[in-house]
Chains A and B, each alone.
Chain A
Amino acid sequence: MVLIGVAIVIIGFIVRLNPLLVVTVAGLVTGLVAQQSLYDIIEQFGKAFTTNRYMAIFIATLPVIGLLERYGLREQAEAIVSKIKAATAGRIINVYFFIREVAAVFGLTSIGGHAQMVRPLVAPMAEGAAEAKYGKDIPDDVRQKIRAHSAAADNIGVFFGEDVFIAIGAILLMKGFFDQNNIPSDPLKMAMWAIPTAIAALIVHSIRLYMLDRSLDRRLGQSNKKAVGKGE
Chain B
Amino acid sequence: MFISMEAVYVYLGLFTVLGSLFTFRDQKNPRRVTSGLFYLLYGITLMLGSIIPPFVMGLLVIVMVIIVGTGGLKVGSYGEASSEERQQNRKRLGNKLLLPALLIPIITILGTTGLKDVKIGDMFILDQKNITLVSLAIATLIALIVGIMMTKSNPMTPVKESRRLLEAIGWAAVLPQMLATLGTIFTSAGVGKVVSDLVSTIIPTHSLFWVVFAYCVGMALFTMIMGNAFAAFPVMTAGIAVPLLIGQFGVDANHLAAIGMFAGYCGTLMTPMAANFNIVPAALLDLKDKNHVIRVQIPTALILLCFNIALLYFISL
Interface residues of A (CB under 8 A from B): 2-3, 5-6, 9-10, 13, 18-21, 23-24, 26-27, 30-31, 33-34, 36, 39, 41-73, 75-77, 79-80, 108-121, 123, 144-145, 147-152, 154-156, 159-160, 163, 169-170, 173-174, 177-178, 181, 183-186, 189-194, 196-197, 200-201, 204-205, 208
Contact = CB atoms under 8 A, between A and B. Distances in A.
Interface string B294-310: 01110110011001100
Contact of B254 (A5, A31, A48, A185): A185
B285 A118 contact: yes
Given A57-B12, A110-B132, A119-B284, A62 B171 contact: no
Contacts of A6: 186, 191, 225
Contacts of A194: 258-259, 261-262
A2 B105 contact: no
Interface of B: 5, 8-9, 11-12, 15-16, 45-46, 49-50, 52-62, 65, 68-69, 80-81, 86-87, 89-90, 93-95, 97-98, 100-101, 104-105, 108-109, 112, 130, 132-133, 135-137, 140-141, 143-144, 147-148, 151, 153, 157-162, 164-166, 171, 173-186, 188-191, 194-195, 225, 229-230, 233-234, 237-238, 242, 246, 252-255, 257-259, 261-262, 265, 268-269, 272-273, 275-282, 284-289, 292-293, 295-297, 299-300, 303-304, 307-308, 311
Contacts of B100: 64, 68
B52 to A, nearest CB: 8
Given A46-B61, A160-B262, A34 B188 contact: yes
Contacts of B109: 108, 110-111
B55 to A, nearest CB: 5
Contact of A68 (B101, B229, B233, B280): B101
A77 B158 contact: no
A183 B45 contact: no
8 contacts: A27-B182, A36-B189, A53-B49, A54-B130, A57-B8, A154-B281, A155-B277, A170-B230
A34 B190 contact: yes
B61 A45 contact: yes
Nearest to B273: A9
Nearest to B71: A18
Q: Is the interface of A mostly helix, strand, loop or mixed?
A: helix
Contacts, number: 396
Contacts of A59: 12, 15-16, 46, 162, 166, 173
B68 to A, nearest CB: 5
Q: Is the interface of B mostly helix, strand, loop or mixed?
A: helix
B104 A61 contact: yes
A72 B54 contact: no
Given A30-B185, A62-B162, A73 B262 contact: no
B184 A44 contact: yes
Contacts of B148: 67
A144 B288 contact: yes
A68 B308 CA distance: 42
A45 B279 contact: no
Given A13-B272, A72-B87, A181-B238, A56 B181 contact: no
Contact of B93 (A18, A64, A72): A72
Contact of B157 (A2, A18, A70, A116): A70
